[in-house]
Structure 1
Amino acid sequence: MKTQQGHSSAGSRRTRVMIAATATVVLSGMVLSGCAGQGSGGGDEKSSDGKIVLDFWNGFTGPDGPALQQVVDDFNASQDEVEVKTNIMPWDTLYQKVLTSVAGSNGPDIIAMSASRIPQFADEGMFMPVDDYYDDAENDSEALTTAAVEASMYDGKNYGVPVNYATMMMYYNKDLFTAAGLDPEAPPATWDEFAAMVPKLSTDGNGDGKPDVYAIALADHETVPIFPSLLWGTGGGIVSDDGKTSLLGEPESIEALEYWVGLVKDQKAAPIGLSGADADKLFQTSKAAIEIVGPWMTTGFDEAGLNYGLVKPFAGPASDAVLADVVSMGIPSNASDEVKDAAYKFFAYWNSAEGQITWANGSGFPPTRADVADQITESPYPAIFGAPDVAESARVLMPGVAAGGPILETVFTPALQRALNGEGTVEEIFTKASEEAQAELDK
C-alpha cells in the first residue's frame, strides 16, 4: 500500500495523489499523505505548565483505541517536558481534516499510518528521516522486532518508528462449523480444504439465490489487503521483490486470482463488494464462518459473544505466507528540532518495555519487542498472533515500493471488482492491469 516513485516530477505526483485520495476515501496512508508533510502542527504550542504539546493524529477508532490512549496517558504522566494529545478519528474524517490542515499549515506533529504507505510520502519529501533515532542507544531500538523497524525503510533511509506489528490470522466461527456438519476443531489448513467446505458454509436458507450465511468475509476494497496477499499462495504477487516489475499478469498471479474470483463469484463463498468494515460486521454477526484479519478485532468479537477459533490462515499450493502489517509513526519534514526531540521521547516510551506491556495487554497485539513476551499476562492474543510459526511465514505487502498505493487503489482494486462482477475474464482484466501497474512503477 504505497504510492509514487522517482523525484523528477514530485509536484505532478502530489497532484495525482490528492486526486486519487479524494476519489477513494479509504483506510489509507494516502489520506494522511498531505498532512504528514506540511503544517507545523501543535508542537510549537506550550501548555500552561511549559510542556511542549504534540498533536498525534491516528485512526485507532476500534477496540484497540483505549489501549493506545492508556500508553499516551502513561507517557504524559511519566515526565514533565512533553504532552502528547491524541487526535483519534475515523480515517475518512481524518482525510477531510488533513486537506484543511495542509491549506492552513496546522497539521499534526506525529502521524500514524501503515508503514507500507510511508515510501509514498517520503518520496514526496513529506516525512523526515529518523535514522538518528535508531542510532541513539538510549532508545533501546535493538530490542525491537527487525521486521517492524525495516517496514518504514525507503531508499536507504528509515522514515518511521513502529506503533505495532501485526500478522493477520484466520478467525473461524465454531458454531457455524458445527451447524454445517463440520468439525469445529478442524478449520481448513489449505485452499483446497476451504474450497471443499464452501458448499456447506455458504447456505441459502430461504431459497432466494443469495446466501444467508457465507463461508468467508473477504473484502475487496477499503480494507487490509487480504485479497492481494492471496497471490502469494501460488507464488505470484503484485510487484517483484525489487519493486521494479509488475507481476499481475504472470501465470502464478493469474492462477491465484482465477481461483479466488471463482470461489467468490461462482461459488458464492463471500459477498461481492465488501469493505473491510462490512467484512468485520459480517463475521461479528455470525453471517460469515471465516474472516482473516488482525488482532484489533479480538475485543469486538469477544464482546459479541462469538465462539471462535484463531489459527494460521490456510496455505496456498506454493506458499503459506501470512500478511503482516506495521503501523509506524512519522514526523513532518518541516518539524522544528524541538518538536523532533519531543517526538523521539514519546517514540522511546511507546517502544519501551513498560509501554509495550501496557499496549499488548490492552490491545491484543504482539509487542514490538520480544523481550517482554513473558510479561504479557492479561491477554492471550499477543502470543497467538506472535507465534513463531506465524512470524516465520509473515510478509509485508510491497515494502519500500513508493508506487504501491496507486497500484492497489487505482489498478488492483478496480480490476478485482471488474473481475468479481464478470466484466471480463481474469486473464484479460489483469493482463491489462499489469500494464497499468508497470506504468506506475516506471514513473
Structure 2
Amino acid sequence: MTAMTRRGFLAAAGTLAVATATGACGAGGGSAGGAGGGSLTWWDHQNQLQKAKAEIFAAFAKSPGGVPVQYTYYNPAKMGQALQLAKQSGQLPDLRTNAGLNLPAAALVAAGWSQPLTLTDEAKARVEDSLIEGLHVFDGKIYAFPIFSHQTYSAVTWFNTELVARAGLDPQAPPKTYDEFRAAARAVRGSAGGETYGWVWNIGMPQRLGEQVHDLAQAAGFAGGGGVLYKSGEYAFHADEYLNVIEFLLALRQDKVLVPGANSWVDDVARARWTAGIAAYYFDGPWCPGVALKDTPEFGEKLGVGPILVPDAGVSVATYHVPQPGDYWLSSTSKKAAAANKLLSEHFTTEEYSLRVAGTMSQPPRDIDVVDRSQAHPAYKKLVGWFKESVFLAPEPVAGNRDVQRVQIESKPVLPTLGDIVQGALTGDVTDVRAALTKLSSDSARQRDAAIAAAKGKGAQVGLDDFAFPNWKPRTDYLKPMYAKR
C-alpha cells in the first residue's frame, strides 16, 4: 500500500472538526472491530510478538477483572488499508498499532482515531521518562507509550553462515563496507550458482526501503535524519550520502547478485525465501530473527549478523534515532476502555514485558539492558550490543515545541517518497536519481513551509527555527535540556 493521500485520509476520518470532538470525548458509533460480548479486539503488525501476546492475553482473561482478547495480525503493507476501511465502517478494533497509516500521531489523534489512556499510577511511573508531548501526550493526556528503545536501525546485514562459509568467506568477519559486501555477494553467487544468489531484499515495500536508506545514509555520514540536516533543518535528500547509498544498491543489481523477482516482494516473502537458502545476505531490521526463527527454528544454526554497512573501511558507525513513538492506541470507538487500560497498565508497561520483547527478538525493548539476560539468539544479543555503542538519540522538533504537532496536522504527503524513488531506481523506472532526490528535497521544503503557514494562521507559535538544532553534535545524544539551549 502506498501512502494515503490527504483527501483519502479526510474521507476516511471524517471532517477534522467533527473527528476532533469525537476523539476528545471518546465517543463513537458501534462496537469496535465487531467484538462480541466482553472481549477486547486487538490488531497489530508485530509478527514476532504474537506468542508473547498470546501468553499475556490468556493470563489476562483468567485474572480478576480481565476479559478475553481477540487478536488479529496484519502484515505492515496491508494494515493501513484495513484500518482505513475499519474507520469508515465504525469497526476499529479496541486496541491497535498505527502501521500503514503514514500520518503522524498528532494528525490521527486530531482526526479522532484514538482516545486517551487511563493508566495506573504505577504504570505511568514506569513509562514517564519516555513520554513526549506531541508524540505520546496530547493536551496533557497520555494516548500511547513506547515499548521499544530508540537504539536501533533497520538496515542490519543478516546472513546465512552456511552459504557464506561455502563461498570461502569467514562467517566471523562479515562485510563492513560497500565494496566488501559486493565482493562477498559475488563470491556466494559464484560458488553457489543455480538458484542461489548473493542478496535478497524487500523491494516491494517502499516505506521500508526509505527507512533503511535513511539509516544507511546516516552510517555514511549524513548529519541528519529523515532527509533533514539536524543543524540547519534543511531538506537534503540529494546529499552525496544518499546518492552513494543508492548507487551502491544499483551496483548490486548490476552485479546480478540480487534474486530475480524480488522487485515485488514484501518482507515476509523475502525473509522466507532467504531462510530457504535462495540468498546469503538480507537487509532487515533487528526483528528479523524473531520472525524467521519462529517459522524455521532450525535456521538458528545458520544465522549470522553484521553491522550496518559503511562506504569506506575504518569508518566508525554512528546512526541517530528520534524518541520512539507510541505503540498501542485505544480507538475512539472502543466501549471497553477500562479493560483496555487494565491490560496495558498491568502487562505492557513492565520490565517483564521488556524481557519478553527481548526474548522474541523484536526491536530492542524500552528497557534495553534486559537483553543480555534474555533467551535471545547470540546474534541478536551481538547486534543490540552494537546498537548501544553506535545509535544516538536524535533531536525531535515536537519535543522542542509542542506546536510542531499542529504543523504535522497540516502536513500533506510528498510523493514520490524516498522509498518510491529507491524502488523505481532498482526496477528501472527512475533513471535520474539525483534529479528525483533534488525534487524531493524542494517539494518537501515547500510542503513544510505551507504547513507552517497554515498552522500559524490558526494560532500556532511555530517557525522554521523549530526544525533546526544548531547545538547538535555527532555521536552524542540530544537530551531534553538541550532544546532550551539551542
1:126 aligns with 2:123: no
Pairwise CA distance, 1:90: 4.1
CA–CA separation in structure 2 for the residues paired with 1:334 and 1:227: 37
> In the superposition, relative to structure 1, how do residues 170 and 308 fare at CA in structure 2: closer, same or farther (>3 Å)?
same
CA contact (8 A) 1:204 1:213 kept: no
Unaligned 5+ segments in structure 2 are 13-25, 399-404, 452-486
- SS of the aligned residue for 2:112 comes to coil
Matched, 1:429 2:436: yes
Q: Structure 2 residue aligned with 1:230, among 216, 221, 224?
A: 216
**Residue 181 of structure 2 is aligned to residue 198 of structure 1:** no
Structure 2 CA distance, aligned partners of 1:91 and 1:179?
34
- The question of 1:74 aligning with 2:59 is answered yes
* 2:253 equivalent to 1:265: yes
**Equivalent residue, structure 2, for 1:25:** none
Identity of aligned residues (%): 18
Q: Which moved more, 1:364-373 or 1:249-258?
A: 364-373
**Secondary structure of 1:56's partner?**
strand
Residue 106 of structure 1 aligns to a residue whose secondary structure is coil
Q: Deviations over 1:159-199 (max 9, x none)?
A: 42234456544321111112222112211123332233232
Residue deviations 1:241-278 (CA, integer Å, cap 9, x gap): 669643212233223322332x2332234246143233
Q: Deviations over 1:367-412 (max 9, x none)?
A: 432465565247656634432x3134336999669599945x7322
Is the CA contact (8 Å cut-off) linking 1:127 and 1:159 kept in structure 2? Answer: no
> What is the match of residue 280 of structure 1?
271
Q: Which residue of 2 aligns with 1:31?
A: none
Q: 2:96 matched to which residue of 1?
A: 111
Which residue is equivalent to 1:9? none
8 Å CA contact 2:32–2:334 kept in 1: the answer is: no
Partner Cα separation in structure 1 for residue 113 and residue 234 of structure 2: 26
Corresponding residue SS for 1:57: strand
Which of 100, 119, 138 lines up with 2:122 in the alignment?
138
Distance 2:307 2:370 in 1: 23
In the alignment, what sits opposite 1:394? Answer: 391
Mapped contact 2:228–2:237 kept (Cα < 8 A): no
Is 1:309 the counterpart of 2:304 in the alignment? yes
Q: What SS is found at the alignment partner of 1:162? A: coil
Question: 1:438 maps to which residue?
Answer: 445
Does the Cα contact within 8 Å between 2:136 and 2:326 map onto a contact in 1? no
Match of 1:186 in 2: 173
Cα offset, 1:288, TM superposition: 1.6
Check whether the contact 1:37–1:127 (CA below 8 A) recurs between aligned residues: no
Q: Does 1:329 align with 2:323?
A: no
* Compared CA separation, residues 291 and 137, structure 1 to 2 (3 A): same
Distance 1:176 1:44 in 2: 47
**Distance change in 2, residues 1:214/1:65 (3 Å):** same
**Partner Cα distance (1:13, 1:382) in 2:** 39
Distance 1:143 1:105 in 2: 31
1:383 alignment partner AA: K
The answer to whether the 8 Å contact 2:157/2:282 transfers is yes
1:193-252 deviation line (CA, Å, top 9, x unaligned): 22332321333866xxxx833332233332633233222222335431669643212233
Q: Secondary structure at the match of 1:161?
A: coil
Give yes or no for the alignment of 1:215 onto 2:204.
Answer: no
Please give the secondary structure, in 1, of the residue aligned with 2:328. Answer: strand
* Paired position in structure 1 for 2:473: none
In structure 1, distance between residues paired with 2:266 and 2:36: 41
- Using the alignment, how far apart are the partners of 1:38 and 1:195 within structure 2? 54
Matched, 1:418 2:424: yes
After TM superposition, the structure 1 stretch with the greater mean CA deviation from structure 2, 238-247 or 185-194, is 238-247
Moved more, 426-435 or 84-93: 84-93
- Normalised by the length of structure 1, the TM-score is 0.73
* Distance of aligned partners of 1:226 and 1:184 in 2 relative to their CA distance in 1, 3 Å threshold: same
CA distance in 1, matches of 2:350, 2:45: 22
Q: Distance in 2 between matches of 1:16 and 1:127?
A: 11
Residues 252 and 167 (structure 1 numbering): CA distance in 2 closer, same or farther, change over 3 Å? Answer: closer
Contact 2:200–2:279 (CA<8 Å) still a contact in 1?
A: yes
- Cα displacement string for residues 76-102 of structure 1 (whole angstroms, at most 9, x for unaligned residues): 333324443322344566455434422
Q: For this pair of structures, how many residues does the alignment match?
A: 403
Contact 2:6 2:413 in 1 (8 A): no
**Alignment CA distance shift 1:176-1:432 (3 Å):** same
Q: Residues 235 and 322 from structure 1, CA distance in 2 versus in 1: closer, same or farther, beyond 3 angstroms?
A: closer
For the 8 Å contact 1:411–1:436, the answer to whether it is kept is no
Q: CA deviation at 1:110?
A: 1.0
- Cα separation, 1, equivalents of 2:374 and 2:170: 31
Distance 1:353 1:149, change over 3 A: farther
Rounded to whole Å, the distance in 1 between the matches of 2:83 and 2:443 is: 28
CA distance in 2, matches of 1:37, 1:266: 55
The 1:377/1:173 distance shift into structure 2, 3 A limit, reads closer
CA distance in 2, matches of 1:334, 1:286: 45
Shift, 1:68, TM fit: 2.1
- CA–CA distance in structure 1, aligned partners of residues 325 and 304 of structure 2: 24
Counterparts of 1:16 and 1:367 in 2: how far apart (Å)?
A: 31
Distance 1:197 1:326 in 2: 36
**Unmatched runs of 5 consecutive residues or more in structure 1:** 5-11, 20-35
**How far did residue 70 of structure 1 move?**
1.5
Higher RCO, 1 vs 2 (CA within 8 Å, ≥6 residues apart): 1
List aligned pairs for 1:32-111, cutoff 5 A: 41-42=31-32, 47=37, 53-60=39-46, 62-91=47-76, 94-95=79-80, 97-111=82-96
**Which position in structure 1 is the counterpart of 2:353?**
355
